[in-house]
Amino acid sequence: MSGPLAETSGGPLAGLRVLELGSLIAGPFCGKTLADFGAEVVKIEPPGEGDPLRKWRRMRNGVSLWWHVQSRNKRSVTCDLRRPEGQEIVRRLARENPKLVLVRISGYGQSGPYRSRPGFAAIAEGMAGFRHVTGFPDRPPVRPNLSIGDTIASLHGVIGALMALHAGKGQVVDVALYEAMFNCMESLLPEYDAGGFVRERSGSTLPGIAPSNLYPCRDGAYVLIAGNADSLYRRLMSAIGREDLRDDPALARNDGRAAQMEHIDAAIASWTQERDLVEILDLMEKAEVPAGRIYSAADIAADPHFAARGMIQEVIAGDGEPLKVPGIVPKLSATPGAIRSPAPKLGEHTDQVLKELGYSSKAIQELRQSKII
């Protein structure tokens, strides 16, 4: 990562060049986030098949739908990094910048006894303690239907890159997948150290914080209600007609409520089971108590708040068809991010980028004939 080099249009990171040498999820998500805010991201892919993500999960016209999210705002250059000529291309792109920042995302980091082990996010989630606490207590640990460990690690990579750029010194940002997940495990370790307490799976509840749970509705739906702040708890109990629980001094603070969590949850569930989801949400909104339903992809696509916040964007994919994709996060008031270009076809910008580096048309042709690009 270096800059400024190529001119880019808009965004707080305009003028910053990022060379994306990773594949699949963690590194490319890091690149996507930087690209969304104006960085010029040159994605290096192996000739032939390119990034394996191009063929992951559901596809349309032979290209992963995920690809159109992960690789927007990037330029694709094919380059065989196993050969000296391909390595030279990357060196010229980096231009030996003394302020170069290298972000390395790996399973276990660049030091320590596990540094040479192969690692994927699924393994890191287990090592960090995340899988141990995910699921219901009477069942095996489960995984979320997402590559959450990769995404969390990549966001740490973005933070590290921006801090290093702010420091103005060339350095390595060393992100380990398991450490990124461990960083999100709250009080898991001190709870064990202070008293030998091992946090376990708890299903839809959050032990020690009450009330905050998933409750059944009369129409077969489920509602999420979070009344765990003291004032919220009082408003919630008033809304469900349980003034006895509202006014009980033993339940005035969270520690007291946590000790009687099952009793409180049973009272709330008894109330929700007699009402449909829409009625519950309306009553909770009037009582100013946080509540919501479980959204599916269809719910997200139809929700007016997602649309109003610009979180449902439409791009023209490489096959010429429109495609809805997630919008930009976070929102910056003065220098917002934007989707400036769709995900590239494999090697779409190879010739363009090499010419910017000073390669002649003849040299580019020779590199292509040698299958370097």
Region label for 313, one of left (φ > 0), alpha (ψ between -120 and 50) or beta (otherwise): beta
Rounded Cα distance, 200 and 92, in Å: 51
110, two tokens? 């660049």
Catalytic pick among 36, 150, 174, 244: 150
Rounded Cα distance, 117 and 106, in Å: 9
Distances (CA, A) of 366 to 90, 362, 373: 17, 6, 9
Rounded Cα distance, 78 and 351, in Å: 10
> Residue 314 is inside which H or E element, if any?
strand 312-316
Check: CB of residue 71 under 8 Å from CB of residue 32. Answer: yes
Rounded Cα distance, 115 and 107, in Å: 8
Q: What is the 3-state secondary structure (H, E, C) of 214-244?
A: EEECCCCCEEEEECCCHHHHHHHHHHCCCHH
276, two tokens? 């449909």
Rounded Cα distance, 185 and 130, in Å: 7
DSSP 3-61: -S-S---SSTTTT-EEEE---SSHHHHHHHHHHHTT-EEEEEE-TTT--GGGGSSSEET
For this structure, is 150 an active site residue? Answer: yes
**173, β-bridge pairs:** 103
Residues marked active site are found at 150
